[in-house]
Amino acid sequence: MRQRPNPRLTLAALSVLIVPLLGTPSVAAGGPQEPYVVVLHDTTTVDGFARQAKLRSGIRAGLRFQHALKGFAARLTPAQRQSLERDPSVAMVTPDRVVRLDAQSLPTGVNRVQADLSPTARIDGRDGTGHRVSADIAIIDTGIQRNHPDLNVVGGYNCTSSFRTAWGDANGHGTHVAGVAAARDNGYGVVGVAPGARLWAVRVFLASGYSRISWIVCGIDWITSLRDPADPSRPRIEVANMSLRDAGYDDGNCGRSNRDAEHLAICRSVAGGTTFVVSAGNDRGWAQRWRPASYDEVITVSALADFDGRAGSRRASTCISFGGRDRDDTFADFSNYGADVDLIAPGKCIRSTYKGSTYALISGTSMSSPAVAGGAALYKATHPGATPNEVRLALRAAASDAWASWTDPDGRRDPLLDVSSFGAGATIALRLAPTVVRGTAGSVLRMRAHVVRRDGFDEIVRLSVEGLPDGVSRE
């Protein structure tokens, strides 16, 4: 069947709440701009003063305060700051510094996948040399804010124009995705699944959310070109996240049969050693209808609605997205599903980093995918030689079934990402649930065994019973 061309790609997420921390950046002459809080005398009208400041000095007021104090936030050049300090209506001009809370927020999604229990993640409020996850994650998206205080951004590439270094994020989606995967464990803000992992911004979307296949291929191509300086046989970027989707399908031939350049590019990049994690999409339908979710070479992720970071339906929804609230611990009603899905991870009401050094709540499989990308980075940090398929098997082997899996529309029960054992060594744990059945011929002891695989252990497990006493037989 002939495909209908669809050059416009869409990001697989919906923003529902943005929490700004700093004023909106402005462009003004007179030196570098820095964030400040301008406090006015109580008798001064904030809006009126802000209008005059813009006309006189080009100052753009951001957040405005009317009750606890009168004033506003703004980014000011040295000249603008000095001008305001001389104004009789101004009580003070003070630096708008980052506020560190007593403890950073452990997002429910990160808590739910047990990243706080992983010896490799080491979430303990300490950030810096020896504490960050030693892995590289590429975010193929709208870019990443270069200087977000909660992200370890090390570089990037822009495929949307000829200005290759213009990979900053003007949309916010890419910065949010990056935080889910790898926000720093620095004592404030949020923390990602692979705290402090090195992030690479691969910008393939305009700020409007528009892209082309050629831009996607450009990003994959650039990732593939980078090799590990210490071992050129390995990729420099171990994991790539793609929270995007476009109409298309897997031809089973890496795109050669249906002329899918994106599929071919991914196949070759995977062959080069990079693990690709992608979102299933938010269409409430089959993932097999979309690319790259339908590709066998990637790890496709559906979305779980979780609001408290714990198993069991205990808490009401904390946001509305895609027109609904969802029930705690269930398959998100917006998520795509099907045999192409490899794992499920939290994707509803996820708090993460956002453009402008802020934080936001966003829902979508765009958020569940980077959680798994972070999990893949954790595994690669301690298993650097693992192939992309071995990473997939490890993630699935360590996954949990502790969610309301009966709500999965396709009945397949996607395994839930669980990275708690990553770094603890490849072992298994055996949980036995005995049941005694009494009958006329005697009693029967039945044992239900649950094998828990740790650190990606995926070998075949065989159980046997030995040393039975006389008169006791094995069924």
Bridge partners (DSSP) listed for residue 11 = 244
- To the query of whether residue 208 is one of the catalytic residues in this protein, the response is no
Which residues have CB under 8 Å from 339's CB, separation 6+? 288, 410, 412
User: Domain locations in the chain?
Assistant: 22-95, 108-407, 427-475
Rounded-to-integer distance, Cα 222 and Cα 63, Å: 39
Gyration radius (Cα) of the chain, Å:
25
Catalytic residue chosen out of the listed positions 87, 136, 141, 328: 141
Residue 35, strand partner residues: 75
Distances (CA, A) of 42 to 46, 47, 75, 91: 9, 13, 22, 9
Cβ neighbours, 10 Å, residue 289: 17
230 Cβ contact list (under 8 Å, min separation 6): none
What is the structure's pLDDT at 247?
Answer: 83
142, 170 Cβ separation under 8 angstroms:
yes
pLDDT confidence of residue 16: 37
In angstroms, the CA 11 to CA 370 distance is: 13
Return all residues near 269 (Cβ < 8 A) that are at least 6 apart. 220, 223, 224, 240, 276
* Catalytic position from the list 96, 118, 173, 269: 173
CA distances from 20 to 75, 96, 284, 353 (A): 14, 13, 31, 10
Residue type, 242: M
C-alpha distances out from residue 292 to 22, 337, 397, 419, 462, Å: 36, 14, 23, 24, 36
Farthest-apart Cα atoms in the chain, separation: 98
* Domain boundaries 22-95, CATH class: alpha beta
173 is catalytic: yes
Q: What is the pTM of this model?
A: 0.69
| Per-residue pLDDT in tens (0 to 9) along the chain, 475 residues | 444 444 445 565 443 333 333 333 334 445 788 878 787 898 999 899 999 999 999 999 875 666 666 678 788 899 999 999 999 999 878 776 432 222 344 456 566 565 555 556 555 556 666 667 778 999 999 999 999 999 999 999 998 898 999 999 989 999 999 999 999 988 889 999 999 999 999 999 888 888 888 888 889 989 998 999 999 999 999 999 999 988 889 999 998 898 788 888 899 999 999 999 999 999 999 999 998 999 999 999 999 988 877 776 666 665 666 666 778 788 999 999 999 999 999 998 899 999 999 999 888 999 999 999 999 999 999 999 999 999 999 999 889 888 888 898 888 889 999 988 887 555 556 555 556 555 555 666 666 655 555 555 555 566 667 666 766 666 6
CATH code for the domain defined by 108-407: 3.40.50.200
pLDDT at 106: 45
Q: What is the pLDDT of residue 39?
A: 77
- Please, which residues bridge with residue 235 across strands? 227
Q: Which long-range contacts (CB under 8 A, 24 or more apart) does 52-61 make?
A: 53/84, 56/83, 57/28, 57/83, 57/84, 58/26, 58/28, 58/29, 59/26, 59/28, 59/84, 60/23, 60/24, 60/26, 61/23
Which helix (H) or strand (E) segment holds residue 397: the answer is helix 388-398
Q: Does residue 416 sit in helix, strand or coil?
A: strand
Indicate if 329 belongs to the active site.
no
Whole-angstrom distance, CA of residue 392 vs CA of residue 205: 27
What are φ and ψ of residue 330, in 5° steps?
-120, 165
* Candidates 211, 269, 352, 366; catalytic one: 366
Report the pLDDT value the prediction gives residue 437, as an integer from 0 to 100: 54
Distance CA 130, CA 12 (A): 34
**Position of tokens 């050693």?**
273
pLDDT of residue 428: 56
